[in-house]
Amino acid sequence: MVISREAFAEFSAEVTGYTAFELEGTGLIDTHHKLLEEILGPHLTGELGRLITDILCYPPASAEREKAIRDSLQATSIFWPVVSSLISLWYMGMWTQLPEAWYATAGLPLPGPRDVGRTHTPSALAYVAQLSYRTAHAHTPGANPTGFASWAFPPIGSAAAEVSSRIPLAPNHTPNPTTTPTYK
């Protein structure tokens, strides 16, 4: 059994606190879904898929669903480190390699330097669309422009923004003719 795309999106929504629609808007559902299945392999993907299917039988954001997650994934499950890394993947845009003990328990070899299970950023979009900046209502540094000279203004809604709105940005200023070049 593989994890369906819809089940992966709904489960990701449950563990991140975002809706499946919002996660879809990141453009990362397919990338993260494929990465998880590649790391786990077919056998563990099938086991996790069955657990996710059982969890998703309960109403969204319900106490029953939360209990099902706790009972089936957190308790002594081999899958809790996987879920933890999945949450980090969504929020930080980077897959964190699972502990050596996890690989030993799962019966899988440790990932090599070029294997998908190592700590890495799976795509440029994973960095740009990570949820941490979205949660902070901020732009990913170096990825999303905020606008020309936006650094000069305090954030909207801050006390500094209220004060600065009362200060003229460009008072009547006459350039000094001795220092201002003239072009003919």
Question: pLDDT, tens digit, for every residue of 9-44?
Answer: 999 999 999 999 999 999 999 999 999 999 999 999
Interval 72-80 mean pLDDT: 85
Given pLDDT bands bounded at 50, 70 and 90, which one contains residue 169?
low
Average pLDDT value for residue range 68-80? 87
CA 51 to chain centre: 22
DSSP at 74: I
pLDDT confidence tier of residue 143, bands split at 50, 70 and 90: confident
CA angle 84, 125, 129 (to 5 degrees): 65
Q: Residue 170: its pLDDT value, please?
A: 54
Residues forming a β-bridge with 120: 95
pLDDT reading at 83 higher than 60 = yes
What torsion, rounded to 10 degrees, do the Cα atoms 81, 85, 86, 90 define?
150
> What is the rounded average pLDDT of the residues 145-168?
64
- Mapped onto helix, strand or coil, the DSSP state of residue 16 is helix
More confident residue, 171 or 64: 64
Average pLDDT, the chain: 86
pLDDT above 60 (res 126)? yes
Whether the per-residue pLDDT at 74 is higher than 90: the answer is: no
Question: What does the block give as tokens for 108?
Answer: 């899988």
Mean pLDDT across 41-70 = 93
Window from 6-15, 64-73, 161-170 with minimum mean pLDDT: 161-170
0.85 surpassed by pTM: no
Calculate mean pLDDT across residues 71-79: 85
